[in-house]
Structure 1
Amino acid sequence: MPMSKSRLAWLLPALLSAMPAVAGNRLLFGHDDRVAVVPDRRPWQAIGQLESRSGQLCTGTLIAPDIVLSAGHCLIDEHGRFDPAVAFRLAQHGEAQAALGEPVLAFVDRRLMDGLSPARGGGVAISPEAAPYDIALVRLRAPIAPAAATLPLFGGDARALRVALRATGWHVSQAGYPEDDSGHLKAHLDCKVSALLGSARLTHRCDTLGGDSGSPLLLEVAGAPVVAAVQSSAPDAADRARADNVAVPVLRLGGALAWLRAADKENAP
């Protein structure tokens, strides 16, 4: 499906500031289609790097001036324990960032925590039953960006998301801070969604590595990007030819947002 003029309008700044990425990683889909992006304009300026207490580095998206959306497993350590976020570097670019946020509260679904088990070679594995809950919200101590610099969530149910995906030819764009260049934002523009499995899973062929966990999958709706899903997992290199990456649609965030609001009231002076 040809790229629409409206999609070109928000992807073009990324293309103009892009550099070819390094090829040859077996975890990618045959060819490395990522580009390096300077996060100085929408939508890229809403994406940053989230760091946990144990030193895990993931990607997060500012969906409100003081709320970061990421993956739940980014806040779980190798022993299956809660691993709180300690820093969010908005629009990280080398040694610079647009703002540094201090996390004070986080939501990770108990159903994700209950679905963990020891993994071969160390760390933890997420059961298929728990995978749809691999999503997290982090509250920052203070707003770090104007509302205009944040990214909206897709508004609608699974049926509406399917319709919106069909309108773009089942294409999204993904951007995060991968382990091969953790200081710079890299994006796979206009990559392919392979399936939407109800409201629980979205499989796709965007090129991601470790560090991209929690990164947004951006969908064009009415000519503008919205966050449709959050990157969750990728198969091992040996299974790459048989399995696609998995993201969690943002359709189940109502409970997490309600939890944050309730916690805010409880902690209010």
Structure 2
Amino acid sequence: MVLVVTSAAFAQDARLRRLETMNEGRVWEAVGRLDIGGTGFCTGALISPKLVLTAAHCLFDKASGVRLDHEKIEFRAGWRNGRASATREVRRAVVHPQYDYSSDLTPDRVRNDLALLELRWPIRNGVIRPFATGASPTKGDNVGVVSYAKDRSEAPSLQEVCTVLARQEGVLVTTCTVDFGSSGAPIFAFEDGQVHIVSVVSAKAEAEGQPVSLGTSLSTQLRDLEEEMEAGAGFLPTTGQTRPRVLVGEPRRDTGAKFVRP
């Protein structure tokens, strides 16, 4: 994956806007913070009253590479300044079958970095409306992202306009601003007044010295996860996975980008 990024690609980007109040964030209440057993957090979004879409690597321990106990994960929809519009425990979780946490951070890994969480109880409160999913955008399209991150963990932030730089090998490369904690954040497309999730944040990277974000493919990968759920999967494996030592930020093979898990 070799990218040529120019400053013009970032010219139309909107700045991150912190959604401080419920009125500001009303449309985005189905985006929430995933609290990972008190050890960290990711971002996730409802795609049905009972299903949350996020990044697969959020379900693995960073130090050991072992799959985490998903029953210790809480989804806090619309989390803002110490309060959530709804909080639910996770009943089960499926990771894409081709995702390998132990592998290097390559396009193949990013493409499959997707997980689906089933909540113990559905969220149906009339305020939180799950998002539909849509087809991946193409190069030059505008998208947006809503996420939490390390320096903005107490309220979501919206970047309403960023740009798709490329769609290569099933990986969406955008100018969207992400950081640690943004993993699993929904990337949105806006069409005819409707908002659709078209990708999920997997990693941040550099291309030609410029920061970019990398998102997963949804089409086939999401169908795979839904089939896993329908087949009754989603319980913890009997053995954990481990990973080799990785120097975060080092170049990966011949991708032309530096990958960092946010």
The TM-score range, normalised by the shorter chain, is 0.7 to 0.9
1:183 maps to a residue whose letter is E
Are 1:253 and 2:217 counterparts?
no
Q: CA deviation at 1:116?
A: 1.6
Q: CA deviation at 1:181?
A: 1.6
**Secondary structure of residue in 2 paired with 1:263:** coil
Identity %: 25
Answer whether contact 1:65 1:146 (CA < 8 A) is retained: no
Indicate the structure with greater strand content.
Answer: 2
Are 1:101 and 2:106 counterparts?
no
Answer whether contact 1:214 1:231 (CA < 8 A) is retained: yes
Are 1:193 and 2:164 counterparts?
yes
Q: CA deviation at 1:192?
A: 1.1
Q: CA deviation at 1:221?
A: 2.6
Paired position in structure 2 for 1:178: 149
Are 1:36 and 2:21 counterparts?
no
Change (3 A) 1:209 1:240: farther
Q: Aligned partners of 2:198 and 2:22: how far apart in 1? A: 19
Change (3 A) 1:39 1:259: farther
**Secondary structure of residue in 2 paired with 1:102:** strand
Paired position in structure 1 for 2:112: 133
TM-score normalised according to structure 1 size: 0.73
Paired position in structure 2 for 1:5: none
Q: CA deviation at 1:249?
A: 2.5
TM-score normalised according to structure 2 size: 0.75
In the alignment, structure 2 segments of 5+ residues that lack a partner are: 1-9, 236-262
Q: Aligned partners of 2:22 and 2:44: how far apart in 1? A: 13
Indicate the structure with greater helix content.
Answer: 1
Q: CA deviation at 1:189?
A: 1.2
Q: Aligned partners of 1:151 and 1:42: how far apart in 2? A: 13
In the alignment, structure 1 segments of 5+ residues that lack a partner are: 1-28, 118-124
Are 1:116 and 2:96 counterparts?
no
Change (3 A) 1:32 1:227: closer
Paired position in structure 2 for 1:211: 181
Q: CA deviation at 1:177?
A: 0.6
Q: Aligned partners of 1:99 and 1:54: how far apart in 2? A: 18
Answer whether contact 1:214 1:230 (CA < 8 A) is retained: yes
Answer whether contact 1:49 1:89 (CA < 8 A) is retained: yes
Are 1:84 and 2:63 counterparts?
no
Answer whether contact 1:36 1:185 (CA < 8 A) is retained: yes
RMSD in angstroms over aligned alpha carbons? Answer: 2.7
- Structure of greater relative contact order (alpha carbons < 8 Å, 6+ residues apart): 2
Are 1:263 and 2:232 counterparts?
yes
Query: Residue by residue, what CA displacement relative to the aligned partner does 1:165-186 show, whole Å, maximum 9, x if unpaired?
Result: x7xx511110111110201101
Q: Aligned partners of 1:146 and 1:179: how far apart in 2? A: 29
Answer whether contact 2:145 2:186 (CA < 8 A) is retained: yes
Query: Residue by residue, what CA displacement relative to the aligned partner does 1:45-64 show, whole Å, maximum 9, x if unpaired?
Result: 11000122362200000000
